[in-house]
Amino acid sequence: MRILMLRHGQTPSNVRGLLDTGAPGPGLTPLGQRQAEAVPQVLQDREVDAVVVSSLLRTSLTAAPLLHQRGMEKLIIPGLAEIEAGDLEMADDEPSQRTYIETAFAWSGGELHRSMPGGPDGRAFFSRFDQAIADIAASGWRSAVVVSHGAAIRTWSRSRVEGVDVDALTRHHFANTGALEMEGDPSTGWRLLDWTSDPIGGAELASEIAEDPTGEPA
């Protein structure tokens, strides 16, 4: 199976640097809407059997233009949601942002016992995200677009996808509508096919001003 994992479009909380991980979460900025509207054109020649989103509003809004073009309905899988910030929820200070992303990346390095302050540990995150991906793989689809979140995609793929450049994922910003494409299944493993840290619709859709803590380098 092939899965294109797409980060959602820009939100007001991304611009303000807020660790905003709760439900239902914010909508999209005008730039985020343009990022979402660029997706159908980029994927026009690709087979897409399903479009899967998390339970947070921003993923549904990002998927909407693609769903409209294809005449498809979305599937919501809550396990694809962003890593919960716990006590850091809605924080915008640099120490909190650093604690959040460094804790998440520590999980993908094997430190599953570490917990987000007042939030989940690595075992809890991988359990629900692994199950979400397994559910998609068990569907019988050959190809799916999965709209998820910056920290969640990077943390999961660093640990679960063969061929991912862990150092690059750590050092580089992962823009809104950045994407990772992989092939495989849960039993044999996942292999990286392609990766873009820029918006899938082109680097001109990247923001130069957003703080964006869940897409920032560690």
Positions marked active-site: 8, 82
The amino acid occupying position 215 is G
Token pair for 123: 């075992």
For residue 29, which phi and psi values (nearest 5 degrees)? -75, 170
What does the alpha-carbon distance between residue 42 and residue 164 come to, in Å, rounded to a whole number?
22
What does the alpha-carbon distance between residue 123 and residue 130 come to, in Å, rounded to a whole number?
10
> Is the peptide bond prior to 24 cis by the omega test (within 30 degrees of 0)?
yes
Is residue 165 classed as helix, strand or coil in its secondary structure?
coil
Residue 1 near residue 142 (C-beta atoms within 8 A): yes
> What distances in angstroms separate CA 139 from CA 53, 92, 97, 132, 158, one per listed residue?
15, 39, 36, 11, 24
- Could you tell me which residues come within 8 angstroms of residue 166 by beta carbon, excluding any fewer than 6 positions away? 108, 158
- With 0-12 CB in 10 A as exposed, 13-18 as middle and 19+ as buried, what is 104? buried
